[in-house]
Amino acid sequence: MGIIDFMIIVIGAWSIAKGLTTGLVKQIPGCMRIVAAVALSSLYIGPLAGVLTGTALHPLIASKAETLLSTRFPALSAPFAGSGDLTTTLSEAGLPAFLARLFSRFDPAVSLEATMAETLAGAAADAVIRAAGFLCLFVVFMLAIRLVFRLLAGAMSAGGLGWLDTLGGAVFSLARVVILLTLLLMILGIVSMFFPAVGNFIANDLARGTFSPGRYLYYENPLRDYLLSLFK
């Protein structure tokens, strides 16, 4: 078990314990804020990304990305021969598989003489803008959505449903942590593209042991796949 797995287990255990002591009704607002924030961010990320892509921010990020990618991955200096070739090269270079699939979603508008680094730079700029925009929207909606369920919690306790409130609180608290951990690991995956030390640490740490919740959340997480579907 690596450091990432240990931290996930500790955070998960803490969230369950907190949910048990807090109760379902008091946990619902926090979980609903996250779910609603993700849903609303998914709804508005397209228009926001379209506006940001039309600014000077996109070519600036693309230029920086091309320099970083060509330096870190010499193989990307080869001519671009199609998204399949690009995905294979990225996977072989050690980039997380979900990022390789993400970049292959974008339709590159480049010349025939363009290298894979030049092609990928535009896709990387699109992905960074969408990721940053999504996170900004997520924070805004998290702060904007506030619900108060204290009266309902008291009613459930008075009605003899305290055990349901306690158990449900643990479930909702754990679900909230899973969503936040998924977003955090996605951010680390993007960061690893530009900082090799981060990617090497994640790969080596998650390779330890047979029981690895972090490995599942990082490589096989269905929630992450849903979030990636927003980047089209």
The tens place of each residue's pLDDT in the chain, 232 residues long, gives 677 777 777 777 766 666 666 655 555 566 677 777 888 888 888 888 888 888 888 888 888 877 877 777 776 676 666 555 566 666 666 666 666 666 655 555 555 566 777 777 777 788 788 888 888 888 888 777 665 455 555 655 555 555 566 666 666 667 777 878 887 887 777 777 667 777 778 778 877 767 778 777 877 777 777 766 655 5
Question: What token pair was written down for 39?
Answer: 């849903």
Give pLDDT, residue 148. Answer: 44
Distance in angstroms (rounded) separating the CA atoms of residues 156 and 79: 65
Burial-class residue 47 by CB neighbours within 10 Å (0-12, 13-18, 19+). Answer: exposed
pLDDT confidence of residue 70: 75
> What distance in Å separates the CA atoms of residue 143 and residue 185, rounded to the nearest whole number?
22
pLDDT of residue 154: 60
- The pLDDT, as a whole number, for residue 61 is 84
Residue boundaries of the structural domains of the chain:
3-228
The rounded distance, in Å, linking the Cα atoms of 128 and 122 is: 10
For 198, the token pair is 């981060």
Measure the CA–CA gap between 145 and 16, rounded to whole angstroms. 23
- State whether the Cα torsion 59-61-67-70 is positive or negative: negative
HSE on the CB side for 203, CA within 13 Å?
12
